[in-house]
Each structure stands twice: as C-alpha cells, then as structure tokens.
Amino acid sequence: MSRAYTGGCACGAIRYEISAEPLVMNDCQCRDCQRKSGTGHGSYLTFADKRNVKLEGEAKHWDIVSDSGNVKTRAFCPSCGSPVYLTFSATPDLFTVHAGSLDDPSQYKPQLVTYNVRGYAWDHVDPTLRKFDRMPSA
C-alpha cells in the first residue's frame, strides 16, 4: 500500500484513517444510494477489516433494510450532515466509506457498478466498468 486512506465529514468532527487497501471500489445505483446522494448513484470504497480503521468523532447512525434484505447502517455527522461511512449487519467486519469523504478523492478508482438495473439514462457512470443488476456474490 502506498499511503493510508484518510477522510471525514465536511466540518472535521468525524475523521478516519484506514491502513489497508480496499476490497472493492464501486458505484451503486440502488434507490437508497440515489436518495442518499441526491443524484443517480453513490460511490464507495469497501475495506475487509474494520480493525484497520482509526475512527475519531461521534457519528449519528441510521439503519435501513437494503435491497438484499440485510440491514445496513449509514453513519453521518450530526453537525454538518455529511455521510461518512456504512456498516452491514450481514458482514460485520466490512467498513465502507463514501468516496466523497476522502481527503484525496483521486484515490477512488471505481471497478464496477452495482444495482445497474436501478440506474437512469441520465446518470452517466463509466461505460467500461463491469455492471451488475444486483450485488455480486463474494
């Protein structure tokens, strides 16, 4: 790994540092990600082991049932409202950060698109990326 992934919310109340490479970087076009982002998709980096994450600050959490039927917990800053990370009840070791929360967003290099079946023609994701109608199995 060349350098840690660092980031946080817009006001700086929540900060993270991750000393590992992500398992996957993806754009998700599910309806929840569309609503959360206010646009056609969300962009994420998912890490295999949350023990590699240094987290500072207190996030507000919101649980929802994802398209797969599993509970996902969205974490956002209670001061500025920025979405910062997600965790998943079905895979508790995973830690996912929003690409927009990175200090250096150029570290985000999408590899695939999930829930492409929910995408809109006006949401132009990279046409060269592999697309999945749902969440691919591990």
Main-chain phi, psi angles of 101, to 5 degrees: -90, -5
Residue 127 has pLDDT above 70, yes or no: yes
What are the chain's domains?
5-131 (3.90.1590.10)
Quote helix, strand, coil % in the chain, to nearest 5.
15, 35, 50
Pairing, β 53-56 against β 83-88:
unpaired
pTM for the full predicted model = 0.91
**pLDDT digits 0-9 by tens, 6-45:** 999 999 999 999 999 999 999 999 888 888 888 889 999 9
Nearest partner of 114 among 99, 103, 130, judged by Cα = 130
Give strand pairing partners of 97. 45, 85
d(CA 55, CA 91): 19
pLDDT score for 1: 53
**pLDDT digits 0-9 by tens, 54-103:** 999 999 999 998 777 889 999 999 999 999 999 999 999 999 999 999 99
Question: What is the Cα gyration radius of the chain?
Answer: 14
